[in-house]
A and B are shown apart, each in its own frame.
Chain A
Amino acid sequence: MTDITQTTIEADPKVPVIRMTREFRATPEQLLRAHTDPQLFVQWIGPNATTTRIEEWDARSGGSWRFVSSHEGTEYGFRGCFHDVRPDRIVQTFTFEGDPDGVALETLWFEDLGDGRTLLRTQSLVDSFEGRDAWLASGMESGVNEGYAKLDELLANGAV
């Protein structure tokens, strides 16, 4: 198995944006499906110790979504709109319901690299640097710290 490029991240110093890239051994069509088919989406959105329940899911341009993640009995709701769903990109809004005023505008691009590989590029735009940095600090998904130590260990051992 050849190594694939790990996630890269960039916090833009001029605009409150987080950009990430990640390469996948899949076609753009498969990657789009993994993001738009709710049964596939819940399998990976995680984090590991949480379960995700889809409450609303209409993955079409102009549709909306809502899912609830539970972790140790606490539920965290997330919702947003699919602004644009196209073969090469998804444009959507993202809100953590615990901070309903914080709305991120996310764009995901699926770039065909050929040979059954696709580059995923994502950009999240929030309305302030404070908001962006709070997201970075909270880990965005749930603010749960579980697993980092374990991951550090795995990364240190070269196991992942």
Chain B
Amino acid sequence: MTSDAEVVPVADTLSRVFAALADPTRRDMVGRLSAADATVNQLAAPYDMSLQAVYKHLRVLEDAGLVSRPLGPQPRMVHLEADVFDVMDTWIERYRRQAERRYRRLDAVLAAMTETETDDTKGKTS
């Protein structure tokens, strides 16, 4: 498709986001960060895993653009980047609307079918 060149970068972003969120621990981290920023230690507290493993998850989330750790006083806070979700929502919403448009056309076809069937029934009874 000719539009591929344009959509690939966004698709890449989406792929990284979906891949990052495919892991339950990372989904949980994102869920907790949506309430408030947290330090890595605070984030790690509920999980039975090494701090190193937690950093590994954080790196995946960072690479996907889902979280950032802005420079500032130590310890640095992990911050959720909500913009990436907007990109994802925009694409999914666009796709949904396209399906909705298709189904509205189907509504019209079904309505015409019902009308024809009603006419047929009338034809038979008269």
Footprint of B on A, CB under 8 Å?
Answer: 4, 6-9, 11, 13-14, 18, 20, 22, 24-26, 30-31, 33-34, 40, 43-48, 76, 98-99, 120, 129-130, 132-134, 136-145, 147-148, 151, 155, 160
Contacts and interface: CB of A to CB of B under 8 A. Distances in A.
B109 A43 contact: yes
Contact of A133 (B1, B14, B101, B108): B14
B114 A26 contact: yes
A140 B21 CA distance: 23
A134 B15 CA distance: 8
Contact of B109 (A14, A40, A99, A140): A40
A136 to B, nearest CB: 5
A148 B96 contact: no
B109 A34 contact: yes
B85 interface: no
B18 A137 contact: no
A33 B113 contact: yes
Name the prevailing secondary structure of the A interface residues: mixed
A9 B99 contact: yes
B1 A40 contact: no
B105 A30 contact: no
Contacts of A143: 1-4, 7
A139 B98 CA distance: 7
Given A137-B91, A138-B1, A26 B110 contact: yes
A45 B18 CA distance: 28
A129 B108 CA distance: 34
Chain B interface bracket (under 10, 10 to 19, 20 to 34, 35 or more): 35 or more
Nearest to B106: A44
A133 B27 CA distance: 18
Interface string B1-38: 11110011011001100110110000100000000000
B18 A13 contact: yes
A134 B18 CA distance: 12
A129 to B, nearest CB: 5
A26 to B, nearest CB: 4
B111 A25 contact: yes
Contacts of B101: 46-48, 147, 151
